Amino acid sequence: MTLRLSTTDADFEARFQALLTAKRAEEEDVDAQAAAIIADVRARGDAAVLDYTARWDRLTLSAAELRLSDAEISGVADKADPRALAALEIAAARIRAFHERQMPGVIDYVDDQGIGLGARWTPVQAAGLYVPGGTAAYPSSVLMNAIPAAVAGVKRLAMVVPTPDGVMNPLVFAAARLSGVTEIYRIGGAQAVAALAYGTKSIAPVDKITGPGNAYVAAAKRRVFGQVGIDMIAGPSEILVVADGANDPHWIAADLLSQAEHDPSAQAILITDDAAFADAAARAVEAELAGALREGTSRASWTANGAIIVVRHLDEAVPLVDAIAPEHLELAVADPDALAAKVSNAGAIFLGRHTPEAIGDYVAGPNHVLPTSRTARFASGLGVLDFMKRTTLVRCDAAGLAAIGPAALTLAEAEGLPAHARSVAIRLNVR
């Protein structure tokens, strides 16, 4: 039964904390299995990847068939529905335009002591882009992963996408072509992550792996971090809608279910300052669920993980939002900008009654790969900087070293590092 809370309840704090700490992901021990798969791929390379692909994707390949040729990519991409392709082109242009604005500038200056200081940004050399397949294929995920990498200047983009039973989604490959991705492997799961991280005879290793996947993919990314960089550990989808009573309850219900339909472990939460609207929204969710194409998944999510919270006033919602730190936050209120200014923790914020979260999934421009599981407290959505590295620059001449060297010498001695001190002192001719 969907959780119903009110801040006026005597036990609100305890029940709210229980909501925050509830486990939504499946409890099966996927980490041990992911570790075993990674070890196998490191030991057997292509052979292990091919075995797992045959077992789980029901697709028997040779090592030479792991990578799709340019002709194969074009052959699949050319089958994309023209109307859907046109929409994908709109999305790609908007995503590219937004991410181009994220490019950082160079820092280069000389301070008052004559020390030249600066920082430059360079792209990683190779990025591995994980695109989900299986029960659902997401061409939008191709755009969201590949375009920021391309804008950053990454020279090699290696995409992995599972193709169970050999079925390939034309829009996924059209999205890859739009994004400039030409290196595509028809593999997925923990084995794909391991291959990207450590390399095989057929798949060269990368420097960073990004993109969402299932629990095995998440566990594998956690395991290979350090060997390669990763964007984040993605958990089940989330949406938190803050709505006042002036909304159409069916609009809000549709927004809640837009994330609930992803997965039974997904979470949709409504916070409102109007108890009557809370009742109306609950009824609207039931009406929207009836006969929905993904009713089973959505109902399981809403029943097990959904929540409706009634607050006395909208400002009371702010600390609740920050505690939940949702992946997606909709502010369907009269003055969304004022409320958004008070919120610290959210992956992405959607302002106003006419801004459903789904707009952000596809065509708004900002990235839809966002922090989940309360990690928006310290993490951000995927962007250009995730594919870049910052290198600092320092330049001293003799006068500059004379100005700041003695302080460095004193600190090195205080830390008991005589060779550090010597490297400064020898240039200052003090010993």
The pTM of the full predicted model, rounded to 2 decimals, is: 0.93
Report how far apart, in Å, the C-alpha atoms of 162 and of each of 53, 132, 133 are.
8, 7, 5
The chain-wide mean pLDDT, for the chain, equals 95
Residue 307 corresponds to which tokens in the numbers above?
């929540």
Dist CA 355 CA 247 (whole Å): 12
Say if residues 26 and 215 touch (Cβ distance below 8 Å).
Answer: yes
- Chain-centroid distance of CA 55 in Å reads 28
Residue 246 corresponds to which tokens in the numbers above?
């002036």
Predicted pLDDT of residue 25: 64
Predicted pLDDT of residue 135: 52
Dist CA 427 CA 96 (whole Å): 49
pLDDT at 26 over 60: no
pLDDT at 371 over 70: yes
pLDDT at 4 over 60: yes
Helix H or strand E segment including 389: strand 388-395
pLDDT at 214 over 90: no
Predicted pLDDT of residue 92: 98
Residue 220 corresponds to which tokens in the numbers above?
């594998």
pLDDT at 416 over 60: yes
pLDDT at 348 over 70: yes
Say if residues 252 and 259 touch (Cβ distance below 8 Å).
Answer: no
Residue 98 corresponds to which tokens in the numbers above?
């937004």
Beta-sheet strand order (sheet of 107-110): 107-110, 116-123, 388-395
Predicted pLDDT of residue 430: 82
- Which of 99, 262, 328, 368 is an active site residue? 328
Say if residues 394 and 117 touch (Cβ distance below 8 Å).
Answer: yes
Dist CA 205 CA 288 (whole Å): 46
End-to-end C-alpha distance for the chain, whole angstroms: 77
Predicted pLDDT of residue 291: 85
Question: Is 227 exposed, middle or buried (CB count within 10 Å of its CB: 0-12, 13-18, 19+)?
Answer: middle
Q: Tokens 């939940």 label which residue?
A: 324
pLDDT at 366 over 60: yes
Dist CA 69 CA 49 (whole Å): 18
pLDDT at 27 over 90: no
- Which of 183, 288, 327, 357 is an active site residue? 327
pLDDT in tens, 34-55: 999 999 999 999 999 999 999 9
Q: Is 327 a catalytic residue?
A: yes
Find all residues with CB under 8 Å of 318, minimum gap 6, and list them: 339, 342, 343
pLDDT in tens, 248-301: 999 999 999 999 999 899 999 999 999 999 999 999 999 999 989 999 999 999
Predicted pLDDT of residue 123: 98
pLDDT in tens, 82-102: 999 999 999 999 999 999 999
Place 212 in a pLDDT band, splitting at 50, 70 and 90: confident
pLDDT at 23 over 90: no
Helix axes 189-198, 46-56, angle to 10 degrees: 160
To the nearest whole percent, how much of the chain has pLDDT over 70? 98
Q: What is the mean pLDDT of the segment spanning 127-131?
A: 96
Predicted pLDDT of residue 81: 95
Predicted pLDDT of residue 381: 96
Dist CA 110 CA 304 (whole Å): 59
pLDDT at 136 over 70: no
Domains of the chain: 30-230 (3.40.50.1980), 235-362 (3.40.50.1980), 396-428 (no CATH)
Nearest Cα residue to 240 out of 145, 332, 131: 332
